[in-house]
A and B are shown apart, each in its own frame.
Chain A
Amino acid sequence: MTASVTATALAVEHLSVRFPVGSSRGWLQALDDVSFSVLRGETLGVVGESGSGKSTLARALLRLVPASAGRAQFRGVDLLALKGAELRSMREHLQIIFQDPLASLDPRMNVGEIIGEPLREFRPELTRAAHRERVLRSLDRVGLLPEHLSRYPHEFSGGQAQRIGIARALMLQPELLVCDEPISALDASIKSQIANLLKDLQHEFNLSVLFIAHDLAAVRFSCDRILVLYLGRVMEIASRDSLFASPRHPYTRALLQAVPIADPLRARARARTATPLSGEIPSPLSPPSGCVFRTRCPLAIARCAAERPRLRRLGGSDVACHRAEDVGQG
């Protein structure tokens, strides 16, 4: 038991986030009873479409939006209960990389100031020489050059700006790194460079990573385990190999079938057999009863409207579906 506790970097239990809507009645349930853990040195992918709650999850853990219920055990404390100075000092161990690299960098600061800012906050005792040495080392580690130090964000391409964001996030060697769509905004030829860099750094620093993305191919490359969200609820959690080889939830299966295949012959063969999922994610203001996916689910039965499925173990997955046994059988 002790071993499993030390091997867990982050344990999220029954996390819910809801936002008041309008002036009077009504709540928007952005996350509903979400539980999962991230092991030390592991990359956990969080996938789902817009409105699934994946960005809210990142923001709640970083305390940028308040949680309405639940706990998040990290370094022996509940992240969601921290206040003031405790919360501030915890930020040293918890960093984020954003989707839009240029928007996440202060346009009035040069690269040296941007990368050095975490050190100024948390390591004010460093001498100027030591500070500069650490900034240069981290710049080099993400593939930028010393002459970039005095340049400003607008002088960089998207891929280079993301390297700057990565250098800043890793400056204090955090324990947990949250990546919110870190490569989605980049061009195809740059995506793979940044994906490789993140993976190298993750191994090098034994980082625990929460990798939020809508791109399933990127998730397959970068993640050890994957959590599938839909309308604020966990549909499935599984290891990468088991999720891609035998998805247990009808939504996971539909997501995989919707990914375009860069092979015209296989793409066309699939188009003849697989029916694309119809409709769109319903409004979180009035989620369907029972299973929230049932309104788009090809396997839905009466029970799905009446009873909310709980996460249960099936094969290599934890899956929330009454009909998981029938997924993939035609």
Chain B
Amino acid sequence: MSIPPEPLLTVRDLRIAYHGETAPLPVVDGVDLDLAAGDFLGIVGESGSGKTQLLLALLGLNAGARLHGSIRYRGEELLGATEPAWRRVRGARIAMIFQDPMTALNPYLSIGTQLTEGVRRHRALGRAAAWRLALEMLDAVHITDPGRRMHQHPHELSGGMRQRIVIAMAMICEPEIILADEPTTALDVTVQAQILSLLQELRARTRVALVLVSHDLGVIAEVADRVAVMYAGRIVEQADAPTLFSAARHPYTEGLQRSIVPLEGPLPARLPTIGGLPPKVTALPPGCAFAPRCGYAWERCVVAPPPLTRVSTPDSAPGSEHRKACYYEGLMGRAR
């Protein structure tokens, strides 16, 4: 009998809304998440799906938003926590890797200054000790010639090297959780492959829990163990990665997968598409937000949003946490 690992992070019924002219604008609506040490969770969603807002909430950075629900880190409630309490967590226990390394780095400061800033604040290390640690981190993210890089400025480095430095900055305080928002979207495909393999290597070595947000199903499939698909502020499907990619049960997930062009094998004359546009946050439909674009929708779908419930079919592995928010119970591939 193994004792279940203590969850690092537990998010329950998280709701994030911004002030609108007539009514509140819900950007995240009832999201649950669990994260344990060494997890690699992928979150897929398009622009406006709420994926970035969700990450920002885990850092207490949604300026001007109203938050409800619960975000517990090692049992401590962070939602509504004071700014000093957030500061002890943010960067030190939960760190972030942003999409564009050029804007995440300060162009005026040397790499060494930026790398040591956080660790000196959070760990009260002296200048020399912080410098030594920074050199070790640069080595850990496979930056060549780290001694020289410490004195360089961001514009002197390539895009891939900058993102390695942003990763080193996130890792240097030895956080337990790293959130990565589209960390490879601004990079070339060969460099993207290098950065994804670096993230996996760091996870294996340090047991850090990673949450990677991407619009690219391929990127998620390469690295994540578990996947959550977001649409219009909700998780519409979640499962372990092999299940999600081989036996998706939400029509939106299916549509995303079908629209991917394969690199080998037969090529369709026309790409399968998801018709229409994602809903605007100012005009969310009363039922399932995907219903207006869904080939499986029926009367029930437009009445109330479906809850995220366990999928139980012969093809789901016993004990698998495959969940979907959809009333349609039939097989996929039969859209009208």
Q: Is B159 an interface residue (CB 8 A)?
A: yes
- On whether A189 and B46 interact (CB within 8 A), knowing A260-B192, A262-B260, A264-B245, the answer reads yes
> Who on chain A is nearest to B184 by CB?
A260
A-B contact pairs, 6 of them (CB 8 A): A188-B216, A189-B278, A255-B190, A256-B263, A260-B219, A264-B222
**Cβ-closest 4 pairs across A and B:** A260-B218, A49-B188, A192-B271, A187-B46
Q: Which residues of B contact A192 (CB under 8 A)?
A: 259, 271-274
Q: Is A214 an interface residue (CB 8 A)?
A: yes
Q: Is A18 an interface residue (CB 8 A)?
A: no
Q: Which residues of A contact B206 (CB under 8 A)?
A: none
A265–B242 touching, CB < 8 Å: yes
Q: Quick one: CB contact mask for A173-209 with B, threshold 8 Å, 1 for yes?
A: 0000000000000011111110110010000000000
B189–A258 touching, CB < 8 Å: yes
> Within the complex, what minimum Cβ distance (angstroms) separates B243 from chain A?
9
Q: Is B113 an interface residue (CB 8 A)?
A: no
> Within the complex, what minimum Cβ distance (angstroms) separates B209 from chain A?
18
Q: Which residues of A contact B161 (CB under 8 A)?
A: 280
Identify the interface centre among A157, A217, A260: most chain B CB within 10 Å of its CB: A260
Q: Is A271 an interface residue (CB 8 A)?
A: yes
How far is B273's CA from A189's CA once the two chains are assembled, in angstroms? Answer: 7
Identify the interface centre among A50, A188, A217: most chain B CB within 10 Å of its CB: A188
A280–B189 touching, CB < 8 Å: no
Q: Is B284 an interface residue (CB 8 A)?
A: no
How far is B217's CA from A160's CA once the two chains are assembled, in angstroms? Answer: 23
- On whether A271 and B197 interact (CB within 8 A), knowing A188-B217, A190-B277, A277-B190, the answer reads yes
> Within the complex, what minimum Cβ distance (angstroms) separates B40 from chain A?
11
Q: Quick one: CB contact mask for B239-281 with A, threshold 8 Å, 1 for yes?
A: 0011001100000000111011111100100111111011000
A278–B194 touching, CB < 8 Å: yes
Q: Which residues of B contact A36 (CB under 8 A)?
A: none
Residues of A within 8 A of B (CB-CB), count: 43
Q: Is A145 an interface residue (CB 8 A)?
A: no
Q: Is B204 an interface residue (CB 8 A)?
A: no
> Who on chain B is nearest to A160 by CB?
B277
How far is B255's CA from A249's CA once the two chains are assembled, in angstroms? Answer: 34
Please classify how large the interface on chain B is, using the bins under 10, 10 to 19, 20 to 34, 35 or more.
Answer: 35 or more
- On whether A264 and B221 interact (CB within 8 A), knowing A217-B261, A244-B263, the answer reads yes
How far is B159's CA from A245's CA once the two chains are assembled, in angstroms? Answer: 30
How far is B158's CA from A158's CA once the two chains are assembled, in angstroms? Answer: 29
Q: Is B47 an interface residue (CB 8 A)?
A: yes
Q: Which residues of B contact A280 (CB under 8 A)?
A: 158-161, 188, 190-191
Q: Which residues of B contact A263 (CB under 8 A)?
A: 221, 245-246
Within 8 A of A (CB), among B188-245: 188-194, 196-197, 215-222, 224, 241-242, 245
Within 8 A of A (CB), among B286-309: 293
- On whether A260 and B216 interact (CB within 8 A), knowing A192-B273, A218-B261, the answer reads yes
Q: Which residues of B contact A214 (CB under 8 A)?
A: 188-189
Contact pick for A264, options B189, B242, B261, B274, CB 8 Å: B242
Q: Is A267 an interface residue (CB 8 A)?
A: yes
Contact pick for A159, options B191, B261, B277, CB 8 Å: B277
A49–B47 touching, CB < 8 Å: no
How far is B188's CA from A214's CA once the two chains are assembled, in angstroms? Answer: 8
Q: Is A28 an interface residue (CB 8 A)?
A: no
Q: Which residues of B contact A218 (CB under 8 A)?
A: 261
How far is B1's CA from A1's CA once the two chains are assembled, in angstroms? Answer: 80
Contact pick for B190, options A158, A191, A199, A254, CB 8 Å: A254
How far is B188's CA from A152's CA once the two chains are assembled, in angstroms? Answer: 33
Q: Which residues of B contact A217 (CB under 8 A)?
A: 260-263
